[in-house]
Amino acid sequence: MNSSDNHHFEVFSAILHNEKHEDRVYDGHICGRWPVILLADGISVQEDAATGNAVMGLGGIAAQHAIEAARAYLERRCTQVRTLEEVLLCLEEMYPYMADAMSAASVFGATTFLAVILWRSETTRDQFWCYSYEGDGYINLLPSKRTITGKVPTQRLLSPQKIGQTASVSRRGTTIKPAVGCRAYEDGDIMYVASDGIAPLDGWLRVNSQTNSTLTKFITSNTNNIGRLAEILATCPDFGDDASMGIIWRE
């Protein structure tokens, strides 16, 4: 496992398509040390549990509050964690904290929520991709040193949570218990987190004469020019929803 300082890892995020204004994404370093991506995709329409009426147009507000609450929670709690188990518990307990914050602010919308932290043990120097999610989207690990016939396989760490409708977090809590997991980091790993709105990208990149590439190959080949990568992805004409993405990698 790699023992390098996490400050050397790059983090990037962008909203590639902003049709409904319901996606929010944050990239940074928690406690100035651990690369993190937080991504919220607001729910366009949800049912009010008390009245049964449809509630519309509050997804973006819910997503913004969820991002702000999660950032504040992680900055406070992650100063206290020392073990991998504590990091995973922190990611799980983040969701009721977000719900309480949304309730206190009288936020009536709901949002999916995805989080990835690259955590390093100060004791062993081992590093782990730690992640959690409520809802759908993409948490994909691209292990560039573990290729198959020269190609980078995509390890999909998120299984969409849908029970009639997409699972979400709101002022009432979470639809179901958030999923939490981890993977050991190995040199060359790239992680990307995205909302479900990026679904058209892979097919479009394959037929685009300028790229002729899968999304996995396009990302792994362009981390040296991440701004240009985002510009090209944003030109996809097939988006039907908001689309956002965050990437963590090492130069």
Q: Each residue of 93-111: pLDDT tens digit?
A: 999 999 999 999 999 899 9
Give the Cα separation of 234 and 251 in Å (integer).
23
From residue 199, give the alpha-carbon distance in Å to each of 115, 182, 194. 19, 24, 9
Question: Is pLDDT of 67 > 80?
Answer: yes
Confidence of residue 4 (pLDDT cuts 50, 70, 90): very low
pLDDT at 65: 97
At which residue do the structure tokens 């899968």 appear? 214
Q: What is the pTM of this model?
A: 0.91
CB 205 within 8 A of CB 211: yes
Give the Cα separation of 199 and 183 in Å (integer).
24
Higher pLDDT, 165 or 22: 22
pLDDT at 1: 33
CB 42 within 8 A of CB 109: yes
Cβ neighbours of residue 193 closer than 8 Å, sequence gap 6 or more: 25, 37, 39, 114, 116, 137, 138, 139, 140, 245, 246, 247
Q: Which helix (H) or strand (E) holds 181?
A: strand 179-184
Domain 6-250 CATH assignment equals 3.60.40.10: yes
Percent of the chain at pLDDT > 70 equals 88
Question: Is pLDDT of 72 > 90?
Answer: yes
> Hey, where are the domains in the chain?
6-250
Average pLDDT over residues 219-241: 95
pLDDT at 6: 60
Confidence of residue 3 (pLDDT cuts 50, 70, 90): very low
Instruction: For residue range 162-176, list pLDDT tens digits in order.
Output: 767 889 999 999 999
Instruction: For residue range 23-41, list pLDDT tens digits in order.
Output: 999 999 998 999 999 999 9
Average pLDDT over residues 42-67: 74
pLDDT at 49: 55
Give the Cα separation of 169 and 63 in Å (integer).
9
Give the Cα separation of 14 and 166 in Å (integer).
23
pLDDT at 166: 87
